[in-house]
Amino acid sequence: MIARMKLGSLIWLGAGLCLVGIMMPADHSRMNDPPQAVSGTGSLTVDAVEPFDHTGSQDYLGGEMVLQQQSDGHFYASPSINSVPVDALIDTGASVIALTGADAEAIGLSWDQSQIRTVGRGASGPVQGVAVRLDKVELGSFEVHDVDAMIIPEGLHVTLLGQSFLSRIPEVQISDGKMRLAEY
């Protein structure tokens, strides 16, 4: 019975990470394009994420960045999105970058109510957002262009840096409380 409970917890966690993966913003150059369909299910919410102090959590080396796991078990970074710095939670289970409404506005992205669609389902119900494409996302020496994302106008309290960015980094490794991003 205990094994079943652990397996069930893992399944819910995995489903939740899939949801988080669909909650990412995109590029203002295509704001006039119709929103793209994104689907997913899950139950993970990120409401409990507190603002973080990432001082000392990032080490830059030539072609490599090492992030330190924080006391809450997550990895954080401060990428520049469309040349505007934001604080983000690194979410390897997120399929795209998910921008908070406030971060999207700070970056210069805009939307109206008619563009908002259901982009997933969370523990508290449907997740509403707008699909976008970001011109440029930079983190340390890594620079990626034309990155899929979602704007989540309400309910997301920290921007999530997901696979639409991470999958374009040649090497991402997690071990011993460190996340290593490298060009080789």
pLDDT one-digit tens code per residue, 3-21: 443 433 333 334 344 444 4
Instruction: Decide which of 38 and 102 is more confident.
Output: 102
pLDDT tens column, 97-145: 999 999 999 999 999 999 999 987 767 888 899 999 999 999 999 999 9
Rounded Cα distance, 105 and 151, in Å: 10
Residue entry with tokens 């994302």: 149
165 vs 8, residue with greater confidence:
165
Q: What is the mean pLDDT of residues 52-75?
A: 71
Assign residue 158 a region (left: φ > 0; alpha: ψ between -120 and 50; beta: otherwise).
beta
Q: Residues 89, 159: contact at Cβ < 8 Å?
A: yes
Q: Which residues contact 137 (CB under 8 A, 6 or more apart)?
A: 79, 80, 81, 97, 143, 144, 147, 161, 165
pLDDT tens digits along 74-102:
999 999 999 999 999 999 988 899 999 99
Q: What is the pLDDT of residue 122?
A: 66
CATH architecture entry for 2-182:
Beta Barrel (2.40)
Quote the pLDDT of residue 173. 95
Domain positions in the chain are 2-182
